[in-house]
């Protein structure tokens, strides 16, 4: 049994525990895991799977498929289903499902808990989808995924918080990354300087979540091997992380897209467009005044919108 109490942050602990119970569900309900890049969406499925394989028949292993690289054909998906038979199938990056929409809606339609394209060859597995997009971005239009398929995908939904969203426990998270690396030498945990930096400033640079923590551990150990003293390592790590290693902030919303709704008069559409543009501009530039200057608008124009 997983020791949930060992997960230091309460929000993450509750999300992981919820995911555990979703994966234990005896039905074939699809699971959707949401969360920013690098929060461990697939990682936690892999951590949970060994603890439920004796309880759930379709949890004997894990198979993964990325929607960006899979060919949208019956043959390709049948091969994936065949490999995933009896396992948990993780289908990554739901936001790229559009070209597979019709195929997966057909294949995941079930009356007996099995999946496939024909009655002659059926497969039994638990399907888990992951996405870095918010639930609103996925469901508010059919630009990314049809409503009918989304209803089938989002039967059980859990969201994992990012390290930027939770303030407590980041030092414990780094310690876990450090231990995971199993450095053969110079493997003493870094001192308080790194801890202070992580706890105070992580929101300014931590876009890759746990992947960034892994890279910080690797860089810190590398500079130790090069003979640098602990007091000189932090500036080197900061420089490397900022210039070369940190994952950039990834766009996971449709905030820069506006959809015109059929049937509305032009004045209503214009008002909706202005409101959307105002919100987008403030999000991008920080304040209405900065947005007006950047967009070369008159003073207080956005206020009237």
CB distance 62 to 49 below 8 Å: yes
With a cut of 50, which residues of the chain have pLDDT below it? none
CA distances, 264 to each of 115, 161, 261, 269, 272 (Å): 41, 38, 6, 6, 10
Quick one: which H or E segment has residue 148? Answer: helix 147-153
**Helix runs in 58-119, H state only:** 74-84, 101-107
Instruction: Write down the pLDDT at residue 113.
Output: 84
Instruction: Give the C-alpha separation, 48 to 55, whole Å.
Output: 12
Longest dimension (CA), the chain: 70
- Among 162, 121, 158, CA closest to 25: 158
Instruction: Write down the pLDDT at residue 170.
Output: 85
Instruction: Give the C-alpha separation, 274 to 280, whole Å.
Output: 10
Q: Starting from the edge strand earliest in sequence, which strands make up the sheet with 62-66, in order? A: 62-66, 88-92, 126-131, 31-34, 156-159
Q: Which two tokens stand for residue 240?
A: 């490397």
Instruction: Write down the pLDDT at residue 232.
Output: 93
Instruction: Write down the pLDDT at residue 245.
Output: 61
CB distance 89 to 80 below 8 Å: yes
How many CB atoms are closer than 10 A to CB 166? 15
Q: What is the mean pLDDT of the chain?
A: 87
- Who contacts 70 (Cβ-Cβ below 8 Å, separation ≥6)? 76, 77, 80, 100
- Who contacts 93 (Cβ-Cβ below 8 Å, separation ≥6)? 66, 67, 68, 130, 131, 132
What does the pLDDT look like over 95-126, one tens digit per residue? 999 999 999 999 998 878 899 999 899 999 99
- Who contacts 240 (Cβ-Cβ below 8 Å, separation ≥6)? 219
CB distance 32 to 129 below 8 Å: yes
What does the pLDDT look like over 5-59, one tens digit per residue? 777 778 889 999 999 999 999 888 999 999 988 888 999 999 999 999 888 888 8
Concatenated DSSP letters of 211-240: HHHHHHHHHHHHHHHTT--HHHHHHHHHHH
């Amino acid at each position: 049994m997983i020791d949930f109490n060992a997960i230091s942050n309460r929000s993450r602990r509750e999300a992981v525990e919820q995911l555990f119970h979703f994966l234990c569900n005896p039905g074939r309900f699809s699971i959707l895991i949401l969360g920013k890049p690098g929060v461990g969406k697939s990682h936690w499925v892999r951590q949970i799977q060994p603890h439920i394989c004796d309880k759930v028949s379709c949890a004997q292993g894990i198979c993964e498929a990325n929607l960006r690289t899979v060919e949208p054909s019956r043959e390709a998906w049948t091969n994936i289903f065949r490999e995933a038979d009896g396992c948990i199938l993780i289908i990554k990056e739901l936001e790229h499902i559009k070209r597979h929409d019709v195929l997966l809606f057909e294949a995941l339609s079930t009356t007996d808990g099995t999946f496939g394209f024909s009655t002659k060859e059926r497969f039994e597995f638990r399907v888990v989808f992951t996405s870095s997009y918010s639930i609103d971005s996925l469901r508010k239009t059919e630009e990314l995924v049809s409503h009918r398929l989304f209803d089938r995908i989002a039967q059980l939904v859990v969201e994992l918080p990012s390290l930027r969203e939770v303030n407590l426990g980041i030092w414990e998270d780094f310690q876990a990354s450090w231990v995971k690396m199993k450095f053969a030498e110079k493997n003493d945990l870094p001192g308080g300087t790194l801890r202070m930096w992580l706890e105070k400033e992580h929101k300014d640079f931590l876009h890759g979540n746990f992947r960034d923590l892994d890279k910080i551990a690797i860089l810190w150990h590398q500079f130790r091997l090069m003979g640098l003293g602990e007091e000189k390592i932090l500036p080197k790590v900061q420089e490397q992380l900022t210039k070369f290693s940190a994952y950039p902030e990834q766009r996971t919303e449709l905030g820069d897209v506006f959809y015109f709704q059929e049937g509305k008069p032009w004045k209503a559409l214009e008002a909706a467009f202005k409101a959307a543009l105002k919100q987008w501009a403030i999000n991008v530039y920080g304040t209405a005044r900065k947005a007006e200057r950047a967009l070369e608008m008159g003073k207080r124009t956005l206020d009237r919108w």
